[in-house]
Chain A
Amino acid sequence: MSSVATQQADTHSGAHEEETGLWSWITTVDHKRIAIMYFVTATIFFFVGGVEAMIMRFQLMNPEQSLISAELYNQLFTMHGTTMIFLVAMPMAVAFFNYVVPLQIGARDVAFPRLNALSYWIFLFGGLYLNASWLFAAAPNASWVGYATLTSSQFSPGVNVDFWFISLSILGIASIAGGVNFITTIVNMRAPGMKLMRMPLFTWMTFVTSFLLITAIPVIAVALIFLGFDRLFGTVFFDPGMGGDPVLWQHLFWIFGHPEVYILILPAFGVISDVIPTFSKKPLFGYPIVVYAGILIGFIGWGVWSHHMFTVGLGPIADSFFVAATMIIAIPTGVKIFNWIATMWGGSIRFTTAMLFSIGLLAVFTVGGLSGIMHASAPVNLQQHDTYFVVAHFHYVIVGGAMMGLWAGLYYWFPKASGRFLNETLGKWHFWTTMIGFNLTFFPMHFSGMFGMPRRIYTYSADLNVAIYNQLATIGAVIFAISAVIMVWNLVQSWRKGEKAPADPWGAPHLEWSIPSPPHHYNFPELPTVRSREPLWNDGEREEILAVTMGEATEEPHMPNPSYWPILLAASITLAWALVMTGVWWVIALGIIPVFFCTLMWGLEPAFPEDH
């Protein structure tokens, strides 16, 4: 694989200018452009999910309101959850995998550039397909966990659940392909000297996350296929009347669902493990421990799924096992937090926006982690499960953890991607409005949950006396929405006319900062040789990192051809899945033909320019 990147093309006449038209973006296989497309798409979906959340917050602002119908509310919370997990948090992390990992390991692209493009297009089409359900007033309405038997054709006779299981099946393909791609890239395409234990933490966490992706996604794929067969072809996997078991769905879903939590959080841990050392001017404290803790979290993450199921009635022995496993996972997480604090200890901390978001993550993610310990205790969970306390908990983990980490990464790597800084003043406004809005939205939910407000309810009785907490949450949500607008304003403004950024604007230690901002489409003119964990920080040994001084390549490196087969194959896969909704076997069979055709043409297409 690495030979791909080291091949040198024959001399071209003059410097090869990158194409910039729409067609060049549609056919691109450049990991950096794909990353930008991932980020922009995920940000747009972030606003879609955010609007859904805002409507819900206004519906819940006062007790016994009916601004919208119960049915619409149920569609909104289902779509909000599905969107934020599958179309925002995951792909936004993948955007960073794409941009950063090849640069951090000194590679010219990912291992399978066309597969990478395919992942993006499948993600886009899957997301559009899911949201197309709004046009039919048939958005999924059985919650993002889609528990059987509510999703059966008996209790959900419309196409709502069909949209849900089909789009998740489509999106899963993108995730698995992405996982395979990044594992291969990280295993095979590291620059000389980039041993595993010299990799930056972000690359490490991408590596762990990719393993979680390729192992967890197939489990939900199986569950979704069972569900599809139950709904369309009359099988009875989850039909209790025929001896099927609805609890089976919950096991399958959470065997996927809990590793999914770590799929969301580990990339953020990776980001701040790179950001905190840079802005503390100190190497990461306890690097091997932080790496092992991440791997351990990934592993143990497989053995805790039933802590989502303490109310299901699995019996005291199963409950005790999952209590123990869940509590054990708190230990490596705690270790990481102490290591990050120790990294800052004795450092010289610069409060850039990226650093603020990292510190913010430490402050608020801890709250989510600790409320997690509360409901890891099975008996306590019996009170907290499916209440707003849990809603508070997982928003502290996913927004306060995953999203804060990714926003830290945004401010950190934006200069690399655009050649311009994000405006720091706007950035600080973004950070503080996020902190205030986020905490004001979700902290009161601990109280409403404790005082008896279940989640997934369209409205609540005035008797419960939880209106005040809901009103605070709604005000907080407005502030949080403003923070998102500030972020996008900053992105747009800074992309066009932000302050120019040099190659290494932060004095950061890793390879991505050794090349110009933005990088050449071939990244590294020559492959760097790595001798340490912080290649750019080795005072006196700077000559060992040849890439630092690299400008233009004298010869254009041999890069893969652009291709329109990824977008066509993605479209045909989406079409094939969409036809599943008909439930007619021969229509479904016909739908597979374009998939075969596009795959064949893909296979016949030369991946590289022909040799002269």
Chain B
Amino acid sequence: MFALARGGAVLLLLLLAACGTEYPQNSLSPHSDFAETIHQLYVSIFWWTMFILAVVWVLLAWVVVKFRAREGDEKPRQIRGHLGLEIGWTVGPALIVIAIAIPTIQAVFATQRPVSEDAMTVEVTGHRFWWEFHYPEQGITTANELVLPVDRPVNLRLGSPDVIHSFWVPKLGGKRDANPTVAVRDGEEPKYNWLFFTPQETGYFYGQCAEFCGESHAFMAMRVLVETEEDFEAWADRWRESPGALPPSGPEQPEDETELEMAGMPVQADEPDELEVGDEDPLVAMGRDVFLNQATCLACHAIEGTSAQGDRGPNLTLFGERTTLASGILENNPENLAAWIKDPWAFKPAAAMPGVDYDMQGTAGFWPATELSDEQVRAVSAYLLSLK
């Protein structure tokens, strides 16, 4: 009985505490059809289980209070069983289980239905310890921040080149493992896992790897940006426009009028104003030079429109637009970026990236220390943040 009272009190307190707080990774806050299906199922099962719990706890409390030993108790009647009761408490739970199982199995099939025709495919690859997103239709590759258009069905194709990861963005739905892709004979299709959903609201969603994948598993987060169709197309166009390339020799960088309109003013307004178009910051120019010509960055990283075409690490095209760095664990600002480039293992042990003064030795191979000076580090981060 005390257990019941205490359990109830704790439950209530926690529920009260839960209200009014923002949980960016909340699994009870559906923002897609997939998440909505799961949530409705969960709510119905929740009430069934609360009903059963109430029955068991009330019965138990009643029995414990009512039948406690008292002075001068007679020897209790020696009852050995009752067939009717046994049938009752077998059939009762069985019916509840059926009531739960039917919608469950319907939801199993509904959430794993075949790919819809008009869906957009994104190939998601879990790496130790970051996420790669490849849009085959758009020819875009990005990392750690998945950009999706609202109200368009999306098929995520999940795979991994190393260990098992699990793609989980709770507000957009359940998780699905990104299994290591098993080699197949020539001509056969490798097996992939798929996740299907349609984001129903624009927004900024937190996600995280949900399958233990090694030392820095805790630091393998991600973000999903669900944007309007126009914003998404504008983003895709900006990506293809290759902002990382050397600026044209002329002082004016050509701007497509229509494109500017499509991109919408907010994007432009977000740009820091000290970086006037065509009037390039010398630090950025230096950073570009370091990144592309001096350091070994381009062995692993790619920036569209430049000679950097490495595919071992995250694609850094439009890096300046990202809200986070190091797969969702740090806010993307110059200080954090410089600190990350100098000493990535301080934030993410065993990350497949060398520091300024230490080599990267690990399961992903060997890369020597970058040996960049502090100024070079600042330059590289300025360059990367200028990619927008």
Q: B69–A244 contact, CB under 8 A?
A: no
| Contact across chains for A150 and B23 when beta carbons are under 8 A apart | no
Per-residue B-contact encoding for A229-266, CB less than 8 Å = 1, 0 else? 00000000000111111110000000000000000000
CB of A377 to closest CB in B, whole Å: 4
Which of A332-340, A409-417, A516-524 has 4 or more CB atoms under 8 Å from chain B? A332-340
- A348 contacts chain B at the CB level, 8 A cutoff: yes
- Contact check, B56 vs A457: say whether CB atoms are below 8 A apart: no
Give the complex CA separation of A283 and B90 in angstroms.
Answer: 21
Contact status of A386 and B166, CB under 8 A, knowing A341-B59, A341-B60, A347-B67: yes
A312 and B179 CA atoms in complex are apart in Å by 8
Interface string of B140-171 (1 = CB under 8 A from A): 00000000000000000010001110101010
Contact A452 B56 (CB under 8 A): no
Given contacts A344-B63, A363-B60, A374-B49, contact A323 B105 (CB under 8 A): yes
What string of 1s and 0s marks CB contacts (under 8 Å) between A185-218 and chain B?
A: 0000000000000000000000000000000000
A468-B211 CB under 8 A given contacts A155-B162, A379-B38, A458-B218:
no
Q: CA separation between A370 and B212, bound complex, in Å?
A: 26
Query: Majority SS of interface residues in chain B?
Result: mixed
Contacts of B162 in A (CB 8 A): 149, 155
In the complex, are the beta carbons of A450 and B214 less than 8 A apart? no
A86 on interface, CB distance cutoff 8 Å: no
Closest to B164 in A: A147
From 585 to 601 in chain A, residues with beta carbon under 8 angstroms from any chain B beta carbon are: none
Contact of B285 with A by CB under 8 A = no
Question: For residues 141 through 156 of chain A, which have their beta carbon under 8 Å from a beta carbon of chain B?
Answer: 141-143, 147, 149-150, 154-155
Minimal beta-carbon separation of B35 from chain A (angstroms): 8
Cβ A456 vs Cβ B97 within 8 A: no
B13 to chain A, nearest CB (A): 10
**CB within 8 Å: A-B pair count:** 308
Q: Kindly report which residue of chain B lies nearest to residue A74, judged by CB atoms.
A: B215
At the interface with chain A, which of B78-86, B238-246, B295-303, B375-383? Answer: B78-86
Q: Beyond A312-B177, A374-B45, A464-B25, is A345–B80 a contact (Cβ under 8 Å)?
A: no
Q: Does A7 count as interface, using CB distance less than 8 angstroms? A: no
Q: A222 contacts the other chain (Cβ, under 8 Å)?
A: no
Interchain CB contact (< 8 A) of B206 among A366, A443, A464: A464
23 A-B residue pairings within 8 Å (CB atoms): A141-B215, A150-B163, A240-B179, A282-B78, A327-B104, A328-B97, A331-B97, A346-B67, A351-B69, A363-B57, A377-B41, A379-B41, A379-B107, A387-B27, A435-B2, A450-B28, A452-B206, A453-B25, A454-B168, A454-B208, A458-B217, A465-B21, A468-B17
Closest 6 CB pairs of A and B: A382-B174, A452-B25, A313-B193, A457-B218, A370-B49, A286-B81
Binding site for A on B (CB under 8 A): 2-4, 6-7, 10-11, 14, 17-18, 21-28, 37-38, 41-42, 45-46, 48-49, 52-53, 56-57, 59-60, 63-64, 67-70, 73, 75-82, 85-86, 89-90, 93-94, 97, 100-101, 104-105, 107-109, 111-112, 128, 158, 162-164, 166, 168, 170, 173-177, 179-184, 193-194, 206, 208-219, 221, 329, 349-350, 363
20 extra A-B contacts, CB within 8 A, seeds A327-B101, A385-B175 = A70-B219, A240-B182, A246-B180, A313-B193, A324-B101, A334-B89, A341-B59, A348-B69, A363-B7, A366-B57, A374-B42, A380-B42, A435-B6, A439-B3, A451-B26, A451-B27, A451-B28, A452-B170, A454-B209, A464-B23
